[in-house]
Amino acid sequence: MTIPANPYPYPLPSTGLALIIIDMQRDFIEPGGFGDALGNDVGLLRSIIPNVQALQQAFRRYGLPIFQTVEGHLPDLSDCPPSKRDRGSSSLKIGDRGPMGRILVLGEPGNGIIPELAPLPDEVVIPKPGKGAFYATELEAYLKAQGITHLIITGVTTEVCVQTTMREANDRGYECLLVEDATESYFPEFKQATLEMVRAQDGIIGWTGFTEAVLSTLALQYDAAVAV
């Protein structure tokens, strides 16, 4: 079974598939958070919520693992490099108190996953101090423990945390499909460039494809299995 994708169909394994949802947090998607403090139009990211929800529901329905990440720092900022906190000219820096609590600090209201994509109690949420989801996290240990080899990647923002994570995963041997209409950027041209660069050179980093293609292929593979 394969998922229609670019640059060629993505091989769907019989086991070892997981959904990765990167940083669908209020800090990036709602006014008053980190994304807003950096000067971005955060409303641009909302358009993918229904597609990420559809993938989340499908993976739940088929009993496939889902890993969400949140970018955030410990309250004492001991895991935040000064270079990250000091970068830029915003008056609201990481750790400062904003309208949704301290900016980009784990456990603050604004750092949480948006309610539309709230994880179930048994779903793993990986806190991450960097842009990539493998740097200084438990993600790889979870994936190895569960025999995961193939990652369907979604979330925000495409050219920052999503692309960094996909590159980290590719270097570790994971087969990655980035879902075009389930990832978004504050910069449409950067999203487009990311899609093109990851699938160029015969999939130098991996594949790109659409939500509907993933959903319909999963239905063929798993609904058929359920029917038998």
Catalytic: 128? yes
Helix axes 211-218, 49-61, angle to 10 degrees: 10
Q: Which of 12, 161, 176, 179 binds ligand TIU (CB under 6 A)?
A: 161
Nearest approach, Cβ of residue 184 and ligand TIU (Å):
10
Helix (H, G, I), strand (E, B) or coil at 6: strand
Which part of the chain contacts ligand TIU (CB under 6 A), choosing from 156-164, 165-173, 201-209, 219-227?
156-164
Nearest approach, Cβ of residue 153 and ligand TIU (Å):
12
Choice between 39 and 147, CB closer to ligand TIU:
39
HEC string of 37-76 equals: HCCCCHHHHHHHHHHHHHHHHHHHHCCCCEEEEEECECCC
Cα 41 to Cα 25: distance, rounded to the nearest angstrom: 15
Cα 16 to Cα 143: distance, rounded to the nearest angstrom: 9
Q: Per CB under 6 A, which of residues 173..202 are in contact with ligand TIU?
A: 186
Using CB under 6 A as the binding rule, whether residue 71 contacts ligand TIU is answered as yes
Using CB under 6 A as the binding rule, whether residue 166 contacts ligand TIU is answered as no
Catalytic: 176? no
HEC string of 170-217 equals: HHCCCEEEEEEEEEECCCHHHHHHHHHHHHHHHHCCCEEECHHHHHHH
Cα 210 to Cα 73: distance, rounded to the nearest angstrom: 32
Q: Which of 23, 168, 180, 184 binds ligand TIU (CB under 6 A)?
A: 23
Using CB under 6 A as the binding rule, whether residue 106 contacts ligand TIU is answered as no
Using CB under 6 A as the binding rule, whether residue 36 contacts ligand TIU is answered as no
Side chain identity at residue 201, one-letter code: Q
Nearest approach, Cβ of residue 210 and ligand TIU (Å):
21
Measured in residues, the chain has a length of 228
Using CB under 6 A as the binding rule, whether residue 156 contacts ligand TIU is answered as yes
Site of interaction with ligand TIU (CB under 6 A): 23, 28, 35, 38, 71, 131, 156-157, 160-161, 186
Residues tagged active-site: 23, 128, 161
